[in-house]
A and B are shown apart, each in its own frame.
Chain A
Amino acid sequence: MSDHILERAAGVAQAGGELGAALATRARLMDLTQGSHDAALLPKTPGGLAHGLRAHLAARMSRICSDDALAHHYDRLGEVSPDLADLARPGHQPEAPRLAALVAYVDKMTLHPKEATAQDIDILRDAGVAEDDIVRLAGLVAFVNYQIRVAKVLRVMEGQS
């Protein structure tokens, strides 16, 4: 049985048959995926993006992509920062300029990454987001969007078996 977040959220932690065998063939990749989850959500060096903030932003992305199971997981990770819990609701716009810039980036790169321009990075920089934090934020958004898509297909495949 897998204790990885992705497989548990997709309901395939105990999958057998062809799907279980396929996941076992890619066990090293699923381990690296779990490691990437920890690096994006619970990094040793969080910089200017605290663990609780990351979790609430991940919950927001999960809700934008209609993934209730991952949203629930990220809500629980976010319990360390209850003051930021509103960020987990899509549509909620914080007033503080730095948080507003972070949320604008999260929403745009989850919903319409094709519209990204240099200006999106300028907005973060102008709001006081440091260069290394811009890379951390991009990595968080990119990982969660990957995880949501793998979970989506696994859930559909498990439903067929």
Chain B
Amino acid sequence: MSRVITKFTTRVPHWRPHVTPVDLDHASDEQREALRETPSNTKISEYVLVLAHDPQALTLRTPLFNGIMYDPGGLSRAERELGAVAASFVNRCIYCAAVHASRYNQITKDSSVMQKVFLDGEKADIDPRAKAILSFGVKLSLCPPEITAEDVDALRAVGLDSQEILDLTLSTALFGWANRLMHTLGEPVEKS
């Protein structure tokens, strides 16, 4: 059996489900309909086949996921990924952190930010705007979430407007959601 990965990495692991995925050949019409769109338009993975056990939720969740991460305007793509990584860091979802840190690296063409985040977390020595976004994402992901007016002001102080703050909130909270699926319904293992 492949080894479970427990340390943060930007190398995307394989995700091994704890729950039996839906068998596509025997899927209901509603399940097939729910699988027409996939998160980030990737292939139909074992993960979405697990989620297909609840097709009504999946049918809404996939366009919501794609909209929060990719709809135009507002917060940049890279900074939405940073919110996703902040949540995945707090919730220790190694798989989500790997996928979204590597997307951040692809967009920014700079792997040094994620290296520092994985090493030092909130204390990472990164530029003030990225640091404010990371710090907000970490506080929002705690339980209970610890966001005050000062935290919102800290984002405004580095130049985020209300639209960008809403978009960061959506991407960070969305990963509070995604982490609670990926990190509980399966686990990351080395690719064989």
Contacts and interface: CB of A to CB of B under 8 A. Distances in A.
Nearest to A37: B60
Query: Which has the most chain B C-beta neighbours within 10 Å: A67, A139, A141?
Result: A139
A109 B180 contact: yes
B73 interface: yes
B180 A138 contact: yes
B54 interface: yes
B183 A113 contact: yes
Contact of B176 (A45, A136, A139, A149): A149
Contacts of A114: 90-93, 183
Contact of B60 (A18, A32, A112, A141): A32
A29 B61 contact: no
Interface size class of A (residues with CB under 8 A): 35 or more
B187 interface: yes
A67 to B, nearest CB: 8
Interface residues of B, number: 55
Contacts of B18: 118, 121-122
Contacts of B185: 121, 134-135, 138
Contacts, number: 168
Given A22-B162, A36-B60, A114-B90, A139 B51 contact: yes
A11 interface: no
Interface stretch (B111-119, B121-129, B166-174): B166-174
Nearest to B56: A39
A78 B181 CA distance: 24
Interface stretch (A80-88, A95-103, A151-159): A151-159
Interface string B68-82: 100101100000000
B53 A150 contact: no
Contacts of B61: 36, 39, 139
Contacts of B54: 39, 43, 132, 135-136, 139
B99 interface: no
- The 4 lowest CB-CB distance pairs between A and B, nearest first, are A114-B92, A142-B180, A149-B173, A18-B162
Interface of B: 18-20, 50-51, 53-54, 56-57, 59-61, 63-64, 67-68, 71, 73-74, 90-93, 140-141, 143-145, 147-149, 151-153, 161-163, 165-167, 169-170, 172-174, 176-181, 183-185, 187
Interface of A: 18-19, 21-23, 25-26, 28-29, 32-33, 35-36, 39-40, 43-45, 64-67, 105, 109-118, 120-122, 131-132, 134-136, 138-139, 141-143, 145-150, 152-154, 156-157, 159-160
